[in-house]
Structure 1
Amino acid sequence: MRGLISTTEAAELIGVGAAVVLDVRWRLTGPPGRADYERAHLPGAVFLDVDTDLAGPPSTERGRHPLPEPDRLVAVFRTAGIGGSTPVIAYDDADGSVAARVWWLLRWLGHEQVAVLDGGFAAWQAEERPLTPDIPHPAAGDFTGEPGSMPVLDADAAAGIPGDGVLLDARAPVRYRGETEPVDARPGHIPGARNSPASAHLGPDGRWRPASELAEHFAALGASTGKVGVYCGSGVTACSVVLAMEHAGIEASPALYPGSYSQWSADERREVAQGHEAGEVAP
C-alpha cells in the first residue's frame, strides 16, 4: 500500500482493524484541527498535530515547520500504534497536503506501507461512512525508522536547482507571485522557481486527478525528468507535490526543501522574486 487509497479500500482495512489511521486536520491560520477531530473522526483514528507532533520547534534559522528530530518522530508514530509493517492511512479535510506530510515523513524514515485517503474527510463523510467522537488509546507499536529514504535540500541546494533543474513552489499562486503573504517575512518566491500549487492536484470532486493528467501537468512544468526540488511555505504542502509526482508515475522522487519559504524569506541575504517566472505555466 503506497501513495493514495480510496475510501472503499480504506473502509475494508479499517473495518478489520488492519491499519493505523491518522487524522491530521490543520489550517494555516487556524482554528486548530483537534476540535474537529474530537467532534467526529474516522473509527480508530489517532489525532496528530502538525505543529507539535510532525515538526520541530519553529525558528527563523530552520523555518516554521522544520523536520522533527528522528527519535522524537519515531516515538510519536509508536505512540499512535504503528509497528514496523503496519499499514498507515492519513487524512485531512483540505487538499490532502497535510496528510501528505505524514506520508512523506514515514517514507523518509523508511516506512513504505502508508497512503493518503483520496478525497479525505470530506469524501468519507459524503459517502455516509462511519464517524465517531470516541478517542482511541492504541497499544504502542514497535516502529523503528532511520531518516534518509527521501531526498532533502538545504537553502543553498534549493537555490542551485533552477540552474540545472526545476524548482517547484507548491503555494497558492497569489503567494507565489508575492501579491499577499499572510505569515512569512517577505512576499514572493525563490528566484527561478515555478508555481505548482497543491490545489492543482485535485479534480472538481475533491479527489486526486488521474495519474495521466498529473503527468501532463508536471511535463508542462518541465519536471518529468531530471533534477527536481520542491518547497512551499514551511515544508508541509510541498509534500503533496512529491506524492503527486509519484502518483503520476514519475520515477525519481523530487527533493524536499524542509525549511521552505519561511526559512528563505527570513534570511535577508536571500533574494526573493515576484510575479511569474519566464516560461511559467498557468495552474
Structure 2
Amino acid sequence: MRSEANILPLLVDTDQLEAALGQKNLLIIDVSCTRECYDQGHVAGAIFLDFKRLFCGQAPVANKLPSIDQLSALFSELGLTRDTHVVAYDDEGGGWAGRLLWTLEVMGHSRYSYLNGGILAWRADEKAQQTESVQPIASVYEAAIINPVERIELDELKDKLGQSQFAVWDARSAGEYAGTDVKATRGGHIPTAVHYEWTRAMDKDNALRIRDMAEVITELETVGLSIDQEIATYCQSHHRSGFTWLLGKIFGFKQVRAYDGSWNEWGNHKDTPIES
C-alpha cells in the first residue's frame, strides 16, 4: 500500500519530477536499454542500472526474480533505504522501469514512481540533462519478500486457469501469441490468455507516454481484462509485462500479478498446456 509520505505519486510527469529534483531521499534510476542512452543524457542525479541485474541469471529460467542475497546486494549497491523514494524510467516506454518497480513492490518497498514516457518524454519536453555518470552512495539493505502476492508462479497459475474472476494478460506480439513467432521450445499462449500487446497503451506520437487512460481501460475491458478481476500478466521474460503490471497499478486494478517465469518458462516446460 502506498504511503501518504511518498514524495511523488505513482505516475509522474516531467514537470513534477523536475520540481522534486534535489529532495532528500529521492533516488532516480535510469533503466534504459543501453548504457549509451544514459551517457547521451539523463535526468540530473539519475544512476544507471543494467536491466540484467533484475534477473536471477540462473538456469533453468534466468529471467526469474533474483534471490534474496542478489536483491540485498543490488539494492545496497544502489543505495536504497526504507525511506528512499525511487523514480524509475527507461527509454522504451516503461518495460524495464516496470520490472524494477515490480521488484520493489515484491520486496514491500512501496515508495516509488514511474516517469511517464521516460527519458524520451524528458527530452521531448526539453528538460535539462546531465551527461556525467552518477555513482550511487551505497547502503546496507536487507531484502525480503514482503508481498509475494505480487508474483504468481507456474503451479499456481496452472491451478487458477479457468477460474471465474481470474484472467491472464499476454503482453507479447500477435505472432508470439498465435504461435507463428516461436521463442521457446513450443509456441503459442497460455490457455484462456487474452492478448493486448504492451505497446498499444503507449502514445507513439507523444514520446511513448501512456495513452488516454479511459481509452486504454475500455480497450482492455473489450478484450476481457477488467479492473475487478485478478489478473496475471506475462510476456517472454517479464520485461514487457513489467509495463503491463505497472499499468494495472496505475489504473487501479483490483489485483494484478506478474508471472516472472513467463513464456521462457511456460513454453520450455514439457507438460504445460498451450493454445495457439
TM-score by length of 1: 0.85
The aligned amino acid for 2:194 is: R
Q: Is the 8 A contact 2:249 2:256 kept in 1?
A: no
The equivalent of 1:228 in structure 2 is: 231
Contact 1:218 1:224 in 2 (8 A): no
Q: 1:194 matched to which residue of 2? A: 194
Q: Structure 2 matches for 1:28-107, cutoff 5 A?
A: 33-51=34-52, 53-60=53-60, 63-107=61-105
Which residue of the other structure, out of 127, 130, 133, is the alignment partner of 1:129? 127
- Contact 1:161–1:229 (CA under 8 A) maintained in structure 2: no
8 A Cα contact 1:109 1:145, kept in partner: yes
Take 2:225 and 2:30, find their aligned partners in 1: how far apart are those partners?
34
Letter in 1 for 2:93: D
Q: 1:59 & 1:218 partners in 2: Cα distance? A: 34
- Higher mean displacement: 226-235 or 216-225: 216-225
1:40 is displaced (CA, Å) by 2.4
CA displacement, residues 145-174 of structure 1 (integer Å, 9 cap, x when unaligned): 421324222212222333112111111222
Q: Distance in 2 between matches of 1:174 and 1:103?
A: 28
Q: How does 1:1-283 map to 2 (within 5 A)?
A: 1-16=8-23, 19-26=26-33, 33-51=34-52, 53-60=53-60, 63-149=61-147, 150-164=149-163, 165-181=166-182, 183-204=183-204, 205=206, 206-220=208-222, 221-250=224-253, 252-274=254-276
**One-letter amino acid of the structure 2 residue matched with residue 235 of structure 1:** H
Runs of 4 or more above 6 Å deviation = none
Q: After superposition, give the CA deviation of every residue in 1:223-282 in whole Å (9 maximum; x if it has no partner).
A: 3223321111112221222211121122x22221110100011112223222xxxxxxxx
Letter in 1 for 2:150: P
Shift in Å at residue 59 of structure 1?
Answer: 2.2
Tell me if structure 1 keeps the 8 A contact 2:229–2:255.
no
Q: Which letter maps to 1:5?
A: V
Structure 1: runs of 5+ lacking an equivalent: 27-32, 275-283
Mapped contact 1:64–1:263 kept (Cα < 8 A):
no
CA separation of 1:115/1:123 partners in 2, compared to 1, >3 Å: closer, same or farther?
A: same
Q: Secondary structure at the match of 1:266?
A: coil
Which stretch shows the higher mean deviation, 256-265 or 34-43?
Answer: 34-43
Q: How far did 1:193 drift?
A: 0.9
Distance 1:16 1:148 in 2: 27
Aligned length: 263
Q: Closer, same or farther in 2 for the Cα pair 1:223/1:156, shift >3 Å?
A: farther
Tell me which amino acid in the other structure corresponds to 1:67.
L
CA distance in 1, matches of 2:75, 2:221: 35
Cα shift at 1:132: 2.2
Distance 2:127 2:24 in 1: 16
Unaligned stretches of 5+ in structure 2? 1-7
Contact 1:214–1:248 (CA under 8 A) maintained in structure 2: no
**Distance of 1:119 and 1:96 partners within structure 2:** 7
Deviations along 1:66-111, one digit per CA (max 9) or x if unpaired, are: 1001232132122212221111111111121110011111111111
Counterpart AA for 1:56: C
1:58 & 1:174 partners in 2: Cα distance? 27
Shift of 1:20: 0.8
